[in-house]
Amino acid sequence: MEEILLKFQPGILPHFFIMQTLANLSMANVFGMVPFLNSILGTMLPMLGMVKQDPMKAVFCVALQHFSESIQEYLANLDKAPDPTVRKDTFSSDLFSAYDVLFNNWLQNRECKVRLAVVEALGPMSHLLPNEKLEEQLARLLPGILSLYKKNVEPFYVTKSLCQILESAVSNESRTLEPQIDSVLSVLHTQICSSTEALTQMLVRNRNEILRCFTVLASIFPDHLLSYLLPKMEANNPKVRMGTLIILKQVINSAAPLMEVKKPLILAAVRQPLQDTSNRVRKVMVQLISTMAHHGYLEQPGGEVMVEYLIRLCCLSSETSLRRQNSELEEVTEESVRRISINTLYLISTTVERVTNVLWPYLLEFVVPIQFTNALTPVCKSLVHLGQKKQEEGMEKLLINYNVNVNLPSPHALFTRLLVVSASLDPGDGRNAAALRLLSVMQINIHPTTGQFWEQEIPPLLEYLEGVTEKPHQQPVWEERLLKFLVGSLQAVSDDVWICQLSQEMRKQLNNYNNSALEKNFLYKCIGSSLGACANRELVRKELQELLTSARYQDETDREGLAVAFGICSTHHLDDSLDKLSEFLKSDIMKKNTGIFNLFKDRADGDLEKIKSALILCYGYVAVYAPIELVLPRIESDILRNVFLYFHTKVLGIKVEPKDLTLKLCLIRSISMIGLAICSSSQAGFFHFSRKSELILQLVEFLKLEPVDSLKSALRHRALTACSYLVKLEPPLSDADKAEMINTALSCVFPLPPISTGNVGELHKETLYADTMEALKDLLRGLLFWNITPQGLEEMFRILDPWIRSRKEHERERALEMSSSLLKFYLHKLNVNCVVSFHNLGILIGRLSPRCSDSLASIRQHTLDCIYYLLYIQMRYEGFAPDHKDDQVEKLQTLRDGLLNPDSSVLFHTCFDIAMIIGRRLPPEQLTSLLFNTFTGLSDPDINCSRAATVMINSLLKDRGTILLAKVPDIILRVQEQLEETPEEHVRKAAVQTVYILATQHVKVVVSSLLSSPLPYDSEMVTLWQALSSDPPLTSQVLNILLEKMTGDVPYKECKTSLLSSASGRVATLQPLAATCALREVLSQPKSSPAVQEFYAQLFVALLLRVSCMVGVQLPKNLGATKDRKNTSQNQSSRNLDPCSSAVEALTFMLIQGGSEEVALSVMADGGWEKMKKEDTHHIGVTSLSSSMVRYAGPKLPEIIKKLQLAQSSAYDNQRVTATAFLAQLLQSSELGDFIFLEPLMDNMTSRLKDSNVTVRMLAIRGLGNIASGYPEKVRKHGSQLLTAMISAMDDREDPDHIVTQEAMSNLSRLLPHVQESDMHSFLIHTAIRIRPFFDHEREELRRSSIILFGNLTKFSSGNGEETLFEQIVNGLVTLLLHLQDPKPDVVKACKFALQMCAPSLNNQGLADMFTSHLHPERGLHYGEFMNNVCKHLLLGYPDLIPRLIQTNISYFKSIWPDIRAAAPLFIGFLVLHMQPDQCKMVDLDHLVTSLIILLKDPVPSVRIKASETMGRLVKFI
């Protein structure tokens, strides 16, 4: 302290924090600081004038405030103070001096913080000012403080300071205060009204300080205060009323003794706010009533008004009220008002002893009136507490004197009300329990004899209420317990008069519950129960009549309740109930409504239909509740007869079908209840319900009329429920009626649009759909129950199958849910006495199993359930006990998670696991039916299901396929049919996989089955054949089998081409043809490549020989069994099928897959494939193939050669031709030296020269000739052999067309350059003579080949054969010169070549030069000039040859070629021209002239011209 005071010196303005520290220290250590304050104030006061800065002013104010507060605390605790001599006067003068500076100077500061600090300081300082100074300053101080509310200052600090000033003034008994009380009250009232919405802590604190101000003022000015406040109650502003009520509550609490005499005045004043509808006003009013209750106001006359007001507020709606237009920022809802009202009522009834006599039994007046229903819970709870308190005081205190309390409800009314109110489980406010508890308390006032029974029954009822969890499901049970309680109570009463009064009271209260369907319905049940307990039949009949005449038939609750009442009443009064219903049919009410004119007038209210509906329903409930032994004889004679009298309307004797939905629903419900009553009877099995079919037909008609696009009413559900009861009765339905019922039922439920779950707006539809679906299940289960056999189950699923395979998800889901339910029921009801066969297990699982991969997870789950139940049904039929559990089947349950996963790979893996379990538990004889029915799933519109079917089928085949050998053909046929029905890609893949799996197990049978299909193969069969090419080992087996099939029979048969012709043709045999087509398809797949390479040579040779056999072969008339539905396309395709083309294509694909694609392309580019297909060019195509093989597939040829050499001995000409052509071409290539041995091939060719087929011999010659190109060195070695073969071939006598001869001449020309002369000399003359006739042959090839060969022969003219050969040259010279004019250019070239080759042998240099210079192969020739010069040299060199030359030319006058006929006379003319006179004698002129004259008659002008020119030159002979 000393350290601080050193820094707090007089005349020196201290630091800011020095002042702050002193202020804080004074509050923290009052007893240690106050003794120093006198000196501190002495030092501090002179400094006030020195303070100029606002922060310093503020800290000085804070210091003065804390100093004042610490002084007050010190003075208040002098007994504990260290210096008890300290008095208020010690500080008064100093503080007044400070007050003067603060109030007069600093309070006017512009800085808000300074003004606020001044205000906070003035309040505590006012307690320490001298009394006379305070009295003197109040006139200025109070207005000054009040004026601050108008400035921007936090009101809390102003109010706090004002309150302290008022406390100071009151403690001083100031007389200056009273004149200013009005202004103070006005400002404070305004402040409290504006702070009613205390949203912040400061506003709450400000309101509390304001209320402290009113507490201070009320202590000295109570009358003045009330005279100011009470008129404010009439203000229309809710804020003003709220503020006034808040102040009044504070005043009542804080000045209770002063307000005691003012109670009537206050009660009268607060009636006005009771009419205010503002929730804020209501809330404050409830708080005020609570305060008034504690202070005895409710005991005053008019206090009941406050109680009634409180109860009415308890009745407010529990829903949040809408924001009112005059509402402020904070919203007070009706719910919050209701809640606080309920709490207040219960609080004052349980804690305020003085209001007990006010509330009891007054609160009972609010129990029965329906308008107080929402307040029933707090009222009942309060009454229970009050009643128990009265019980503690004595039972006489609990008894109510109804003569005194005339406004109280009667015991009957109270009992009825409390019983009905307790019926609903739904209210969450505990109304039902509260009502029962009040009923228990009021037992002695209701009826004294019920005491023991109620003590036993009411506690269990309350205990049941506490355990209720599923209210909607437990509601019927609860009502049943209450009705039993009612019946027991009536039995306990055992007073018929009291019971009759009770039933009358119940009927009177019916209209009170028009807006509460559940409670009204229960009240009807209570009426029925009370009437049933009533022994007075006349009163019962009267009350039933009253119910019929007073019922509100337009209201469904009344119709339902009326029917229930009649039903319950009929338990003891069946005859009276039925009689009253029959009488009502004849009553004036019905007659007024059934007139003919009423049928045609527009009655929108539908009175008649609603009345009929209620009466029909009454009969239904009577059938349910009345003793069954009494009802059964009257069901058809009375009940149904009257029901249909009400339902059908007759106009002029014609029955009119009503259209009213309510009427239909009530009829259906009535039928349903009649069926239920019969079914529940022990005599049901003996009761023959003759009208059963009629009723079912009526219900089916109702179902047919229901729209399938919406679910709007319960008719569907009700009709199905009724049918489910009726089908259980005797006699059973006929098959036709049963099928129609099932189809109608399914068609009216399954197509309904999907019901969205969880949507509040769809909750009703969701419940209705669930009920409808359950009713449908009950119906189908009832029908199935008549026939618990495999046949009955299959019939049911045959009807369900279209829905199971529907394209719509919701239809499939419902169908599978139904299937699961039926199978579960079947398993539960199944009773197997002996082991029998469940023969259709495979069929049922096959239909269902593809759904394991449906797009909906729920469908997948239902499908798993179906398979689970089916397998257990099978095991039951096998003799297993009902409780037997199979490990494999139970594994299905572990697969559920896999079916919930939307990943397709997981789904298919799960489907595989399911298939494995099915396969292990399925009897072998059912495997085929399972597969066949699962095949149907391949065409499922849901692609995932189709794939699941694939997984199932293939899994089963892999696991159990080995036992299906005998069924393979049927399976293949079924696969093909499925492909035809559904050609989608995924189905094709499934079929491929299926055939593949079967083939791996039964390859021969599969191939044979596929081969039995009709030709040509359609796309489905092509797909199946191609399936066999995916696995190399399997493909190898297939190829081997097909090769055996293709070669195992004759390739064709000779048949007559027509019945009218004797000519025959070749027709392909069916099996080899089918095998060829199959090979084509298998080989067309690239996956077959490994197998093809393995069988390369075998395939190549077999297919090549097959091609040769199919050239010119026709299709057989029977191409296999065809299907009627494809006959047209089959016939069209068969016309396009060519046996040879199929073989060629197969060979082409074989080459491609065998790695020899270049071969195939090369042959195609050469046109070889097309040539192979034609008989006359076939060998050319084979030659092209052979060349390509040499070029691109040489290493593969050795094995091929071996196999083809064997084919050269084939019985079929075409095969020998093909083999010879192929091998012959090989000899032309020199590239095969490393792969083949020439000599065996050459020997083969030589041996073929004796073949019966001319083409084979021709090709053999060609092959031998090819040696000259491929192996010229071998020609010299084997020259003699080769020449002999060629010469022999030219002498072939079985060659009418000289094909062999021509080939021999061509190839001899090729060989000659490479043979030794010694080998040729022996053949030279013979060859020249043999080929000479072919110079003039009609065939160009023969002329050309013979002429070229002739030219080549001249190479061997030297030596011994020179003269002989010269003679042959001379003999052929004319022919060669004349053929220079041959029409064929190749022949002309051959002549030029031959002449040039002959020239050296002619020993005539001039002629040789002529031939060399003029006979260029590619140049044209001036024939006339050339011949002119040739003739000169001939005459000069060979004059002796003139006669021979002329004679040879004359022989060509008859040539078939005009150019040669013209060249011959020209040749003669030039000879004549250059002959010498002495040479003319050598010419036979007469013969020449005669020949020329004949030639002059030639039809060709050029011939005649040449002949005439030659005739002119003959002049020299004359």
Residue 1061 has a pLDDT of 54
pLDDT in tens, 943-968: 888 888 888 888 888 888 888 888 88
Residue 1358 has a pLDDT of 62
| Integer CA distances (angstroms), 1231 to 576, 815, 969, 1185, 1324, in order | 122, 75, 50, 16, 32
- pLDDT tier at 270 (50, 70, 90 boundaries)? confident
Closest by alpha carbon to 1118, among 1049, 1017, 1015?
A: 1015
The angle at the Cα of 590, spanning 586 to 596, to the nearest 5 degrees, equals 110
Give percent of the chain with pLDDT exceeding 70: 93
Residue 591 has a pLDDT of 56
pLDDT exceeds cutoff 60 at 973: yes
* Residues in contact with 261: Cβ distance below 8 Å, sequence separation at least 6, in sequence order: none
Instruction: Tell how far CA 777 is from the center of its chain.
Output: 25
Which H helix or E strand runs over 1068?
Answer: strand 1064-1068
* Residues in contact with 1383: Cβ distance below 8 Å, sequence separation at least 6, in sequence order: 1457, 1459
As a whole number of Å, the CA-based R_g of the chain is 64
Query: Residue 1073 in contact with residue 1139, Cβ under 8 Å?
Result: yes
The angle at the Cα of 1321, spanning 1315 to 1325, to the nearest 5 degrees, equals 120
Sign of the torsion formed by the C-alpha atoms of 52, 58, 62 and 64: positive
The rounded distance, in Å, linking the Cα atoms of 100 and 104 is 6
Peptide bond before residue 731 is cis, with ω within 30 degrees of 0: yes
Give percent of the chain with pLDDT exceeding 90: 21
Instruction: Tell how far CA 362 is from the center of its chain.
Output: 66
Query: Residue 1498 in contact with residue 1489, Cβ under 8 Å?
Result: no
pLDDT exceeds cutoff 80 at 42: no
pLDDT exceeds cutoff 60 at 934: yes
Residue 1312 has a pLDDT of 81
Residue 1129 has a pLDDT of 45
> What predicted TM-score, i.e. pTM, was given to this entire model?
0.64
pLDDT in tens, 822-839: 999 999 998 887 777 788
More confident residue, 174 or 757: 174
Structure-token pair, residue 419? 């019983």
CB atoms within 10 A of CB 240: 19
DSSP string, 168-224: HHHHTT-SSSGGGHHHHHHHHHHHHHHTSS--SHHHHHHHHHHHHHHHHHHTT-HHH
Question: 1105 — phi, psi (to 5°)?
Answer: -70, -35
Structure-token pair, residue 349? 């009834």
Which letter does DSSP use for residue 1229 in this model? -
Which letter does DSSP use for residue 1298 in this model? -
Residue 660 has a pLDDT of 81
Residue 1130 has a pLDDT of 45
HSE value, Cβ hemisphere, 13 Å, CA-based, for 90: 20
pLDDT in tens, 481-526: 999 999 999 999 988 899 999 999 999 999 999 888 899 999 999 9
Strands 1052-1056 and 654-656: unpaired
In this predicted structure, which of 326-335, 394-403, 479-488, 1038-1047 has the lowest mean pLDDT? Answer: 326-335
Residue 603 has a pLDDT of 39
pLDDT exceeds cutoff 60 at 339: yes
Rounded to an integer, the average pLDDT of 174-201 is 80
What's the full length of the chain, in residues? 1518
* Residues in contact with 829: Cβ distance below 8 Å, sequence separation at least 6, in sequence order: 785, 788
- Single-letter code of the amino acid located at 1058: S
Bridge partners (DSSP) listed for residue 1068: 1052
Place of tokens 């006010």: 358
The rounded distance, in Å, linking the Cα atoms of 1264 and 785 is 91
The rounded distance, in Å, linking the Cα atoms of 88 and 70 is 12
Structure-token pair, residue 1228? 């032309």
Residue 653 has a pLDDT of 46
pLDDT in tens, 563-620: 999 999 999 998 888 888 888 877 766 655 544 334 433 434 457 888 888 898 999 9
Beta strands in 619-718 (DSSP E): 649-651, 654-656
Closest by alpha carbon to 1471, among 1501, 1504, 1421, 1434?
A: 1434
pLDDT in tens, 610-669: 888 889 899 999 998 998 888 888 888 788 888 887 777 654 445 556 778 888 888 888
Place of tokens 């191939």: 1007
pLDDT exceeds cutoff 90 at 5: no
pLDDT in tens, 1139-1169: 999 999 999 999 999 999 999 999 999 999 9
pLDDT exceeds cutoff 50 at 320: no
Beta strands in 1193-1251 (DSSP E): none
Sign of the torsion formed by the C-alpha atoms of 864, 866, 872 and 874: negative
Residue 413 has a pLDDT of 93
Structure-token pair, residue 974? 């079924």
HSE value, Cβ hemisphere, 13 Å, CA-based, for 1517: 20
pLDDT exceeds cutoff 90 at 404: no
Structure-token pair, residue 56? 């310093």
Sign of the torsion formed by the C-alpha atoms of 1428, 1433, 1438 and 1440: positive
- pLDDT tier at 321 (50, 70, 90 boundaries)? very low
Which H helix or E strand runs over 520?
Answer: helix 517-533
Rounded to an integer, the average pLDDT of 858-868 is 92
Residue 855 has a pLDDT of 86
The rounded distance, in Å, linking the Cα atoms of 730 and 863 is 34
* Residues in contact with 1145: Cβ distance below 8 Å, sequence separation at least 6, in sequence order: 1080, 1084
CB atoms within 10 A of CB 1238: 17
pLDDT exceeds cutoff 90 at 417: yes
Rounded to an integer, the average pLDDT of 1069-1082 is 91
Query: DSSP 3-state assignment of 325?
Result: coil
* Residues in contact with 113: Cβ distance below 8 Å, sequence separation at least 6, in sequence order: 54, 58
Query: Residue 1427 in contact with residue 1465, Cβ under 8 Å?
Result: no
- pLDDT tier at 1236 (50, 70, 90 boundaries)? low
